Copies of this chain bind each other. A is one copy, B any other.
């Protein structure tokens, strides 16, 4: 079973990397970009056949390792 986990910064958390990308796009002549925020994506291959068990495994993975839940949100998408 394949799953995709997306980890993004919470609103209000500063994102200097996103700001740098915004500046770089402007200097490359790409206009009309009002904001960029960068996050992480994890494409995960799971052995479980059951979606419910898979979701629990992924939730544990996010809480323990993939996301810093103080400043980041995560979303789990099971294909």
Give the B-binding residues of A (Cβ under 8 A): 6, 8, 18, 21, 24-25, 28, 30-48, 57, 60-61, 64-66
A57 touches B32 (CB 8 A): yes
List the 4 shortest-distance A-B pairs measured between CB atoms, nearest first: A32-B47, A35-B45, A34-B45, A39-B41
Apart from A8-B43, A30-B57, A40-B41, 17 more pairs, CB < 8 Å: A18-B42, A21-B65, A24-B65, A31-B47, A32-B46, A33-B44, A33-B57, A34-B45, A34-B46, A35-B44, A36-B43, A36-B45, A37-B43, A38-B42, A39-B40, A39-B42, A40-B40
Known A8-B41, A39-B41, A40-B40; contact A47-B21, beta-carbon cutoff 8 A: no
